[in-house]
Amino acid sequence: MLTNEEKQVDTYIETNLPTEPKSVVGDTPLSSLNLNWTEKQMPQRRRTKHVHGLHPYLGKYIPQLVEIFLRKFFTPGQAVLDPFVGSGTTLVQANELGINAIGYDISAFNVLLCQVKTGAYNLKKMAFEANDILGKTKTATQPQRTGQLRLFEGTLNITATGNKYLQNWYAPQTLTELLTYRQFIESGDYTYKNLLKVILTRSARSARLTTHFDLDFPKQPQTEPYWCYKHSRTCEPVQEAFKFLNRYTKDTIRRIEQFAPVRTDALVAVHHADSRAADIAPIDGIITSPPYVGLIDYHEQHAYAYHLLGLNDNRHREIGPAASGSSKKARAQYQEDVAQVLRNASKNLPSGAPIIVVAGDRHNLYPAIREMAGLDEETILKRHVNRRTGRRSGEFYESIFIWRKS
């Protein structure tokens, strides 16, 4: 049953058109913002425009929400910080508007993804390299050319990888194709190797031995035919990766090309560091969406990338990981960690600078976090998120906390 507050939000949605991001300026009253887009008003193709859809990522906020607050509180040439940079939504949107952007994340994969999304590319060379490695992989791995696999004899021996995760989660042909592509990245003279790594990991995510309807956090490899809730029929586990490499090569080229015309020369800096203690440069404000307490293990959702690319796994330093749950003790630690991030970042904020924090605060943790961080409250906006992904359902609300540096 909905609370009175939630019913008021629903009434507001029905009687008010949502805010168009481009209409927002510095003088736009916060009270006039309607952030409750329906699926029809904000379809997936807009939420995942250009590089925002470069790789699946759970727990990210939509770019239009970020754009509204960038337009409201920042001007071109200023600098915005996202201390929980995640998939880079804040950085990408800030760059579109000519706003300098700095991001921090404890996850090596997140940093890699952000660097690829915000990078500057020679489009012709980028497309050539992506297609070149795809062609080489096809020649080396497809059944009609199997004999050429001797090119990487030993490197492609599945048992020689020494990685049980890769052996368990990928069919033999799938793993051969992924490892071949990886070998070409390592041995090739490519300028945009990080972009190729993202194509590889995106393909690896789809090519795992799992059901089609459980790509987020599969619990065990699926090796037998199964009833597929997504397709309403019996499906077979994936046995190859090349079709995904081919698909995502084309999609990645297209998305980078779409972002290029709106990309500006504004600074983008992404740091692989813990924002609780990092030496943060002077900034003009913060826009961020911290991890939810006890909900998502951000390293685990990209486990395939860590194993395939050999990235350092810092999950023990995550804030509010699902593995720690949401007990009273876990919530208290979460509050202290998020407050410490904000205290650290605030050292280089001017007085009165805006701090915008988007969070699903079902445990009511953020009022105390604000006090612990020594920040002033301007207002709190409520937003109804009426979309759910995968097989999850139900109502979901999030808060936008707008605070100021004292």
Task: Determine the structural domain holding residue 159 and report its residue range.
Answer: 124-259
What is the H or E stretch that residue 292 is in? none
Q: Please give the pLDDT value at position 287.
A: 98
Tell me: do 351 and 238 sit in the same domain. Answer: no
Q: Which two tokens stand for residue 402?
A: 């707008």
* Residue that terminates a domain, selected from 227, 259, 291: 259
Chosen domain end from 225, 240, 259: 259
Do 8 and 115 fall into the same domain?
Answer: yes
User: How many domains, the chain?
Assistant: 2
What's this model's pTM, rounded to 2 decimal places?
A: 0.89
225 and 135, same structural domain? yes
For residue 350, what are the contacts with CB-CB under 8 A and spacing of at least 6?
A: 284, 405
Burial class (CB in 10 A: 0-12, 13-18, 19+), 132: middle
Q: What is the pLDDT of residue 224?
A: 92
Bridge pairing between strands 354-359 and 285-288: parallel
380 φ/ψ angles, rounded to the nearest 5 degrees: -130, 125
Please list the pLDDT of the chain residue by residue as tens digits (406 residues): 445 544 444 444 444 689 999 999 999 999 999 999 887 887 877 888 999 999 999 888 999 999 999 999 999 999 999 999 999 999 999 999 999 999 999 999 999 999 999 999 999 999 999 999 999 999 999 876 544 444 444 445 444 467 899 999 999 999 999 999 999 999 999 999 999 999 999 999 999 999 888 887 788 999 999 888 888 889 899 999 999 999 999 999 999 999 999 999 999 999 999 999 999 999 999 999 999 998 888 889 999 999 999 999 999 999 998 888 999 999 999 999 999 999 999 999 999 999 999 998 989 999 999 999 999 999 999 998 865 444 445 567 899 999 999 9
Residues 401, 267 within the same domain:
yes
pLDDT at 150: 44
| Whether residues 87 and 128 fall in one domain | no
Same domain as 275, residue 146: no
Instruction: Give the per-residue SS3 of 238-280.
Output: CCCCHHHHHHHHHHHHHHHHHHCCCCCCCCEEEEECCCCCCCC
Who contacts 41 (Cβ-Cβ below 8 Å, separation ≥6)?
18
Residue tagged 């041995």 (tokens): 187
Same domain, 289 and 248: no
- Say yes or no: 90 and 220 in one domain: no
Structure tokens at 358: 């988007």
The verdict on 395 and 287 lying in the same domain is yes
d(CA 260, CA 252): 12
What DSSP designation does 362 have? T
Residue 227: its H or E element: strand 226-228
Question: Under the phi-then-psi rule, with left for phi > 0, alpha for psi from -120 to 50, and beta for the rest, what region is 272?
Answer: beta
46 & 143 share domain = no
Return the bridge partners of 228, or none. Answer: 233
Final residue belonging to a domain, choices 241, 259, 277: 259
Residue 173 carries which side chain, given as an amino acid letter?
Q
pLDDT of residue 161: 64
pLDDT of residue 54: 95
Claim to verify: residue 314 and residue 214 sit in the same structural domain: no
Residue 354 CB neighbours (<10 A): 19
User: Do 111 and 44 lie in a common domain?
Assistant: yes
